[in-house]
């Protein structure tokens, strides 16, 4: 009887942790790409978008393999080793999902009003959710591993929208320009080169906003601290036949 209770306890623990891991993977790979209907896209843009989607699929396949490896390890080790392995996996996935603070090498993008505005009374710097969303999509295409706008961590369920006449990120208002965007990258200098000639930089310039780009060894990127809905995560008590 005691052995049966222990078996049920271990299965329940594994089900709970596996459910959390699966949910974190969903958060990580649920696309936040802003769909835009535009005519006349050139081949370079189409190939870039295709490569981005292929990279996401490849990453997802790797995550599935990692999850299978965790399951195999769970079935072949002691209870304490199982708990330790699952705990380490949760920490790794929380980091990938944007739920932990980071201090890493990366890029800081300072969005500043064009100084020439002082000489043109009719021109104003106009930041919009669309501009920010396009920049995030481009940063992701360039290989960004983590992004924060101001003090708000961007994850795949983050929303950028107008509320009244203010821009809100993660249901919090953004500060006015100048505004700082922090980006984690495996190769910050390469990311900097991309940004120097990026389409987003040109689009921001058209709205009288300039990029001031710097590479730093220590960039502090805050964790996402909003609410994540777990209402749709369930634990199944069903067992396969023969187990």
Write the CATH number for 132: 3.30.70.1880
In the chain, the number of structural domains is 2
142 and 180 belong to one structural domain? yes
- Confirm whether 242 is domain-assigned: no
21 and 109 belong to one structural domain? no
107 and 193 belong to one structural domain? yes
pTM of structure: 0.66
- Confirm whether 226 is domain-assigned: no
Going residue by residue through the chain (243 aa), what tens digit of pLDDT does each one get?
545 554 555 666 666 666 666 666 665 555 444 444 444 456 666 766 676 677 667 767 777 777 777 667 667 767 777 677 777 778 878 888 888 999 999 999 999 999 988 788 778 999 999 999 999 999 999 999 999 999 999 998 899 999 998 999 999 999 999 999 999 999 999 999 999 999 999 999 999 999 999 999 999 999 998 877 655 555 555 544 434
123 and 178 belong to one structural domain? yes
Which domain range does residue 205 map to?
Answer: 102-221
72 and 135 belong to one structural domain? no
- Confirm whether 57 is domain-assigned: yes
69 and 132 belong to one structural domain? no
Helix (H) or strand (E) holding 15: helix 2-29
């Amino acid at each position: 009887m005691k052995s049966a209770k222990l078996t049920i306890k271990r299965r329940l623990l594994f089900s709970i942790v596996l459910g959390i891991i699966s949910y974190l993977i969903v958060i990580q790979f649920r696309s936040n790409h802003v769909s835009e209907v535009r005519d006349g896209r050139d081949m370079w843009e189409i190939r870039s978008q295709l490569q981005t989607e292929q990279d996401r699929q490849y990453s997802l396949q790797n995550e599935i393999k990692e999850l299978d490896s965790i399951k195999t390890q769970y079935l072949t080790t002691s209870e304490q080793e199982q708990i330790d392995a699952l705990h380490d996996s949760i920490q790794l996935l929380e980091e990938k999902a944007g739920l932990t603070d980071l201090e890493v090498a990366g890029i800081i993008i300072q969005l500043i009003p064009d100084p020439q505005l002082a000489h043109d009374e009719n021109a104003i710097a106009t930041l919009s959710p669309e501009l920010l969303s396009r920049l995030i999509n481009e940063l992701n295409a360039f290989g960004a591993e983590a992004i924060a706008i101001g003090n708000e961590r961007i994850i795949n369920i983050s929303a950028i929208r107008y509320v009244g006449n203010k821009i809100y990120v993660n249901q919090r208002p953004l500060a006015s320009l100048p505004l700082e965007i922090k980006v984690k990258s495996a190769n910050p200098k390469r990311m900097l080169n991309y940004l120097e000639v990026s389409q987003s930089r040109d689009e921001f310039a058209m709205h009288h906003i300039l990029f001031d780009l710097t590479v730093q060894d220590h960039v502090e990127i805050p964790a996402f601290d909003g609410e994540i809905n777990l209402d749709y995560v369930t634990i199944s008590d069903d067992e396969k036949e023969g187990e």
